[in-house]
Copies of this chain bind each other. A is one copy, B any other.
Amino acid sequence: MIPEPLKKFIDLFSKIPGVGLRQAYRIAFWFLKHNKAFMYAYGFSLKEMADTLAVCSQCFFVFEKRTEEQTFCVICSDKSRDHTVIAVVEKETDLISIEKTKQYRGLYHILGGLITPDEHNNHDLRLKELMERIDRNPQTKEIILAISHTAQGDLTAMELEKMMKPFAINITRLGLGLPRGAEVEFADEDTLSNAIRSRK
């Protein structure tokens, strides 16, 4: 009773993270309420992403690949940026958030996740790639661990510091303090202590 192309759509879209079977059905019927051109636009947008985007061989951010030789993203190939500093981030959207501040002019390294105590999950992280990159680029002066101040973020920062010891590079981490808009009265003790220590 359910047409084959619809079944296929549901099967594929229910696999997208955060989308289950029920939402996949809802999305399918939402699409079918629109016209052909509307659905084509979505299909084409996916095809265009597949055809034109590539992942930077150095920092692992995406970029529009215009020639076969191009392997570096816009940021890594920007000569006006500071190539002696690398900010290590968990994921692509962290890079985007930092870029939006316009406060940082160095390079990035996208880890692709955080280190977990369960070692099995860590083989997907680009840890080896980071070490090789630092080894390959002796001009690297500073590594900023732009990683969340959570338990898993702290573990990751600790492990990264250990791994980078042989390189004798300056390793820093994003400052702790009160977030903009936070009221002193309601800040937790830990946040407040950090805000006092990092006063200026």
A residues apposed to B, CB below 8 Å: 1-6, 8-9, 12-13, 16-19, 22-23, 25-32, 36, 39-53, 55, 62-64, 74-75, 91-93, 96, 99
Q: Which one of A18, A30, A49 has the greatest number of beta carbons of chain B within 10 Å?
A: A49
Chain B residue contacts of A53, Cβ below 8 A: 3, 5-6, 32
Partner of A17, one of B1, B30, B39, B44: B30
Partner of A1, one of B3, B31, B36, B75: B75
| Pairwise interchain contact A41-B63, C-beta atoms closer than 8 A | no
| Pairwise interchain contact B96-A5, C-beta atoms closer than 8 A | no
Chain B residue contacts of A28, Cβ below 8 A: 49
Which residue of chain B lies nearest to A10 when distances are taken between CB atoms in the complex?
B45
